[in-house]
Structure 1
Amino acid sequence: MSRAPFQVLVVPFRRVGDQVEFAVLRRMDMNVWQAVAGGGEVGETPQQAAVREAREELGLDRPVRLYPLQTMASIRAQFFADRVNWPVGTYVVPEYSFAIDLTSVGIKISDEHTDVQWLDYDAAVEALRFDSNRTALGELHERLLADDLPLPIE
C-alpha cells in the first residue's frame, strides 16, 4: 500500500507489581532508541495504523488495549521518500500518539529493530532519541500516576 501523509507513535507499557515499565526499541537503520513508530497507509485511520504498527514491530499475536494520547507532533515531510506521492504543499505531517498495555503480553521485535529494553520512566526518557517520544512518554507516565488513562479504542 501507499504511505499516507501521517505518522503514528505507540508507547508500550507494562505493569510489574507496583511498578510500570516502558519498552524502548533500538532502530536498525539509525541506531537510536524510540517507541513503536511508523507511517499510516492510504485508507487507514491513525488508530488502525497504530494497531498495525504495534503488531508488526512487536510481533503481537492477540489484540491489546490501545489508548489515545493527547500528544501530537509534526515531522517535516522531507524525511519521507513517499512525499513525492503526497499533495503538493505537504511540508509537515502530523504524528498521532497512543499507548498500549502489554502487561502479561509477550513480544518479538521485528527486523526493523535490533533490541528492546523495558525501563522505568527515568531511564526510558534518557534513552529515547526523539522529543516527540519523550513528550508522549511523559504524558503516559503522568496519566498512569494519576490513574487517568483515556478509554481504550475498541
Structure 2
Amino acid sequence: MTTIIKVQPGISIADIYIGMLRNDAERCLSNTAYSFQIEYEQDKVSFIEINAEADISCIYNGIDLFKVKATQLIDLLDAISPYDRAESDGCSYRFPQLGLVLWRDINFTEEDMKQSWFQEMSLENQEDTMRSLYFSTVGVFLPE
C-alpha cells in the first residue's frame, strides 16, 4: 500500500515543519519508517529532505514528485517558480522562491538510453541507472 506524503515547499514534509523544535522533529522521526534527513539551526528545523521509496508518493500541487520523470517535473515546477539555473547541474534543482530542492545521483535522460554506453550495460545496471530518470530526494527550506 502506498503512503501519501504531503510536501509543502518552504513549510513541511509530512508532519515535520521548518522551525519545529529538534525534540518535536525527532519524535516525529521516531514514528516513521521513512528515511528523512533533517538539518537544524539553533535547535530548530531549517531543512527537511526525504528519500524516494517504493511505497511512498510525495505530493505537491497534485504532482507526485517521485513518479514524474525529472525532465517533465522540472518543466512543471519551473512554470510555477523558476529554478536557480546557476546552481543546476542536471542532478540538483533548487527552487529558491518556493523553498524546494530536488536531487538525483546522475543526469540521465531517455535519450541516454539509446547510447551505446547504456546499451552495453547489463540489464541489472540498466535498471539501476534508469532510476535516475526520476528524482531520488525532495527537500524543503525557507524560501528566499
**TM-score scaled to structure 2, two decimals?**
0.32
Larger radius of gyration: 2
User: Higher relative contact order at CA 8 Å, sep ≥6: structure 1 or structure 2?
Assistant: 1
**TM-score scaled to structure 1, two decimals?**
0.30
Greater share of residues in strand: 1
